[in-house]
Amino acid sequence: MRPLRLLAALVLTAVLAGCGDDAAPDAEAVADYPTEEIRLLVPYTAGGPTDIAARALGQYMEEQLGQPVVVENLPGASGATAYLELISSPADGHTLSMTALPTAVLNYLSNDVGYTREDFAPVGVVTQVPSGIVVPADSPYQDLESLFEAARQDPGAITVGTPGATNTHAAETRRITELYDVPLTVVPFEGGSEVRTALLGGNVSAGFVNLSQDLLPAIESGELRVLAVGTEERLPYVDAPTFVELGYPELTQSTTTFGVIAPAGTPEEVVATLEDTLRSASEDPEVVAALEERYVPEEFIGSEELGQLFVETEETFRDVVGD
């Protein structure tokens, strides 16, 4: 019996030793992260604000982390194509994705898209782009109240163009109707440029859009007028009041937050490394210039805060788009 017991002990020792060898590379990989090329997915087509942010950030990450960062555009299904690719990848920090809130949340609240926030490990925020209601220069509506009063007087007459059907702008427009009994009709388009074209062509009464760098020239030239912005405080670069000061305090949820996420289960040490890299990027003059300084938060928004933004977005819009 003794030889058998000795053999069994030796086999068990070998098995345990083998398990230890398997675990060691994982621990080493975490400590040495990154050990290979990093993929940074973009849920939208090239050239948009998400793509611009990803490429500025990717170049900085590559310099700081010492590994190539490849930006991949995977548009489709309001971002779900990229997110499904992300969560099917190893949770080791070598596949990341840009994300845009609230659109990412509205997508899974509205449809069964194969992911929820629990499938993500938030890393941090890159930029935040505020939104507002705009009208053409020759619009008869000189202020927000005149637009809203026209809607109350003739329900269905006031149409609001939005850059999508399930994004923050469409949802916030519906919240206006729900919270303040202002019957606005949402007219979704494929992006902000189409909303601008519809406004200038007189095809919609107003637009609820991102006040992003591609739209600002039309505002600065006077082609479009901003009636109200969806921020807590006035914007220094847009001459318009906030919804809050006009008596609509709940309408502060339309800012688009562009951040970085990893698959759920990514080691905390890896997330911390990435978070630190995003934090330093937000302080780098070249990166900030590429992202547009006005859109980079004054205080860095990290992993925990981005995770909370997911939760808050769900709470805000669940009753508007979900059960």
Greatest mean pLDDT range, 106-115, 205-214, 267-276: 267-276
Convert the pLDDT of each residue in 247-289 to its tens digit: 999 999 899 999 999 999 999 999 999 999 999 999 999 999 9
- The alpha-helical segments, DSSP class H, found in 34-127 are 49-65, 80-87, 103-110
Mean pLDDT of 142-166: 94
User: Among 17-21, 82-86, 209-213, 317-321, which is the least confidently predicted range?
Assistant: 17-21
Q: Where are the beta strands (DSSP E) in 130-205?
A: 131-136, 159-162, 185-188
pTM for the structure as a whole: 0.82
* pLDDT (tens digit per residue) in 36-71: 999 999 998 887 778 888 999 999 999 999 999 999
Q: What is the dihedral of CA 60, 115, 230, 184, to 10 degrees?
A: 140
Band of pLDDT at residue 322, cut at 50, 70 and 90: low
Q: Quick one: tokens of 130?
A: 């505020």
- 15-43 burial, b at 16+ Cβ within 10 Å, e below that, comes to eeeeeeeeeeeeeebbeebbeeebbbbbb
At residue 24, the pLDDT reads: 35
Average pLDDT over residues 83-94: 97
- Whether 159 and 310 have beta carbons less than 8 Å apart is answered as no
- Averaged pLDDT for residues 103-117: 93
pLDDT > 70: percent of the chain:
91
Quick one: pLDDT at residue 243?
98
* Full set of structural domains in the chain with CATH: 37-128+256-321 (3.40.190.150), 131-229 (3.40.190.10)
Strand order in the sheet with 185-188: 185-188, 159-162, 206-210, 131-136, 224-229
pLDDT tens for 279-315 read 999 999 999 999 999 999 999 999 999 999 999 999 9
Compute the average pLDDT of residues 90-114: 94
Give CA–CA dist 39/86, Å, rounded: 9
